[in-house]
């Protein structure tokens, strides 16, 4: 039993959405070999047609992407009834080194786990979408460690969270949630050394990728099971605030921008962060695609964008990708709960 600060408020239009079915082709975590050529970008973009009543959230969860990532990669497209070509932004600029333990980039709304490997094995990175703190709250930045692991956690709700819900919703909020599928802590939780801050599952997976918590980091239930099985107590956790990321893919310099989290004080403006990042890019200033950078600042996107004006822009890149059919069975109402899907790998202690 413990106190956590991490319940979230999920938009009503998510909890009200219902489609029957189970996912037949689940993807549990995005795992990549760490580049050995100095590159700092992993993964690849996908695109295809949404079929069989799949929503952007079904497609995103299938590829282990969160709500905001799918929405920003497909501006103007309906989340619930997508049509046309859907972009899956499953290419990621890695956080700054060191690449050890767990690294969480709050504006990116993504967790990266760099497992220890035996000598001679290929180093890997495993990455998951997360929900972050709602406006007015924040997750501490800096270094800590995993200090405990809990299966089927119970939750004593802090009085500050009870008061907030009572004020906003006009009804009394429970002071205690027992273990089970309706617990906002989910079925699995990793406790960090930051007081009251956990990395855990959720009883509303469709909120993953949004600003929903009071400081904790929420995972899809299947991702919580995956991470829980791998991570041991004393694993390092590094939480960063990096809304501007620059990386290279085989020498091609790229940038992603994510909406800044204003709750962190004393941070530079987005323009200043971009300029500081560009100064570190080994490109002639005349070769930098300033129009693309300006568009990124005004419309942040998770898709890494080439900075070299001679490299193709995102629309050109996407047009070269063979379209897929996103025809797997939608996850459905029953999946919007804390249970780990039955076909997920077994959870180990």
Condensed to tens digits (0 to 9), the pLDDT of residues 72-131 reads 999 999 999 999 999 999 999 999 999 999 999 999 999 999 999 888 899 999 999 999
> Please, are residues 45 and 323 in contact by the beta-carbon 8 Å criterion?
no
Residue 344 lies in a domain: no
Could you give the CA distance from residue 292 to residue 253 in angstroms, rounded to a whole number? 13
- pLDDT of 18 over the 70 cut: no
- Same domain, yes or no: 194 and 262: no
Among 17, 24, 18, residue whose Cα is nearest residue 342: 24
Query: Is 229 strand, coil or helix?
Result: helix
Query: Is 240 strand, coil or helix?
Result: strand
Phi and psi of 230, rounded to 5°?
-95, -35
Residue 1 lies in a domain: no
Q: What is the pLDDT of residue 165?
A: 67
Residues ≥6 apart with Cβ < 8 Å to 265: none
Residue 349 lies in a domain: no
Q: What is the pLDDT of residue 184?
A: 78
Residue 136 lies in a domain: yes
Residue numbers of the domain that contains 277? 245-312
- Same domain, yes or no: 106 and 196: yes
- Same domain, yes or no: 197 and 251: no
Residue 6 falls in the annotated catalytic set? no
Both tokens of 213, joined, read 């918590």
Q: What is the mean pLDDT of the chain?
A: 86
Q: What is the pLDDT of residue 318?
A: 95
- Same domain, yes or no: 134 and 220: yes
Say how many C-beta atoms besides its own lie within 10 A of residue 282's C-beta: 7
Residue 2 lies in a domain: no
- Same domain, yes or no: 57 and 76: yes
- Same domain, yes or no: 258 and 293: yes
- pLDDT of 171 over the 80 cut: no
Of the pLDDT bands very low, low, confident and very high (cuts 50, 70, 90), residue 287 is: very high
Both tokens of 153, joined, read 């956690």
Residue 345 lies in a domain: no
Say how many C-beta atoms besides its own lie within 10 A of residue 286's C-beta: 7
- pLDDT of 229 over the 80 cut: yes
Active-site position among 200, 214, 218, 238: 200
Could you give the CA distance from residue 6 to residue 110 in angstroms, rounded to a whole number? 17
Say how many C-beta atoms besides its own lie within 10 A of residue 183's C-beta: 23
CATH number of the domain residue 30 falls in = 2.40.440.10
- Same domain, yes or no: 236 and 302: no
Of the pLDDT bands very low, low, confident and very high (cuts 50, 70, 90), residue 21 is: very low
Residue 23 falls in the annotated catalytic set? no
* Max CA distance (Å), the chain: 60
Could you give the CA distance from residue 344 to residue 228 in angstroms, rounded to a whole number? 13
Residue 34 lies in a domain: yes
- Same domain, yes or no: 71 and 167: yes
Both tokens of 296, joined, read 């990124």
- Same domain, yes or no: 16 and 158: yes
- pLDDT of 17 over the 70 cut: no
- Same domain, yes or no: 58 and 159: yes
Q: What is the pLDDT of residue 3?
A: 40
- pLDDT of 186 over the 80 cut: yes
Residue 199 lies in a domain: yes
Characterise 309 by phi-psi region: left (phi > 0), alpha (psi -120 to 50), beta (else). alpha
Q: What is the pLDDT of residue 7?
A: 40
- pLDDT one-digit tens code per residue, 314-336: 999 999 999 999 998 888 766 77
- pLDDT one-digit tens code per residue, 133-167: 999 889 999 999 999 999 988 767 776 676 676 66
Q: What is the pLDDT of residue 308?
A: 97
Which long-range contacts (C-beta less than 8 Å, at least 24 apart) are formed by 259-263? Answer: 259/107, 259/300, 260/107, 261/106, 261/107, 261/132, 261/133, 261/138, 262/135, 263/133, 263/135, 263/136, 263/137, 263/138
Residue 196's Cβ-count burial label (10 Å; 0-12, 13-18, 19+) is middle
Which spans in the chain are helix H?
12-15, 56-62, 67-73, 159-169, 221-230, 270-278, 290-298, 314-319
Both tokens of 306, joined, read 């080439």
Characterise 280 by phi-psi region: left (phi > 0), alpha (psi -120 to 50), beta (else). alpha
- Same domain, yes or no: 102 and 226: yes
Both tokens of 198, joined, read 């956990």
Q: What is the pLDDT of residue 34?
A: 96
- Same domain, yes or no: 264 and 193: no
* Domains held by the chain: number: 2
Phi and psi of 308, rounded to 5°?
-75, 125
């Amino acid at each position: 039993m413990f106190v956590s600060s991490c319940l979230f408020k999920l938009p009503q239009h998510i909890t009200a959405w219902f489609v029957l079915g189970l996912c037949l082709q689940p993807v549990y975590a995005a795992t990549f070999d760490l580049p050995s050529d100095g590159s700092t970008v992993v993964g690849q973009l996908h695109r295809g047609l949404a079929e069989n009543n799949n929503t952007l959230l079904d497609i995103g969860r299938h590829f282990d992407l969160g709500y905001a990532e799918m929405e920003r990669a497909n501006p103007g497209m309906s989340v619930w009834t997508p049509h046309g070509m859907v972009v899956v932004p499953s290419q990621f600029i890695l956080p700054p080194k060191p690449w050890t333990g767990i690294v969480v980039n709050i504006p990116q709304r993504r967790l990266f786990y760099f497992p220890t490997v035996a000598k001679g094995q290929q180093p890997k990175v495993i990455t998951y979408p997360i929900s972050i703190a709602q406006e007015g709250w924040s997750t501490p930045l800096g270094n800590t460690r995993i200090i405990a692991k809990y299966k089927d956690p119970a939750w004593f709700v802090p009085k500050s969270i009870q008061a907030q819900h009572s004020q906003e919703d006009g009804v009394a909020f429970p002071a205690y949630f027992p273990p089970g599928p309706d617990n906002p802590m989910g079925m699995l939780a990793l406790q960090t050394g930051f007081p009251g801050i956990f990395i855990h599952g959720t009883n509303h997976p469709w909120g993953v990728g949004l600003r929903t918590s009071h400081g904790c980091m929420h995972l899809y239930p299947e991702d919580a099971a995956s991470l829980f099985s791998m991570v041991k107590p004393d694993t390092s956790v590094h939480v960063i605030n990096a809304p501007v990321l620059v990386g290279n893919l085989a020498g091609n310099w790229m940038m992603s921008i994510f909406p800044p989290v204003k709750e962190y004080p004393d941070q530079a403006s987005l323009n200043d962060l971009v300029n500081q990042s560009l100064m570190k890019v080994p490109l002639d200033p005349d070769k930098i695609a300033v129009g693309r950078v300006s568009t990124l600042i005004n419309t942040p996107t998770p898709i890494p964008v080439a900075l070299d004006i001679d490299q193709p822009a995102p629309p050109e890149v996407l047009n070269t990708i063979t379209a897929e059919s996103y025809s797997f069975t939608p996850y459905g109402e029953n999946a919007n709960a804390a249970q780990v899907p039955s076909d997920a790998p077994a959870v180990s202690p």
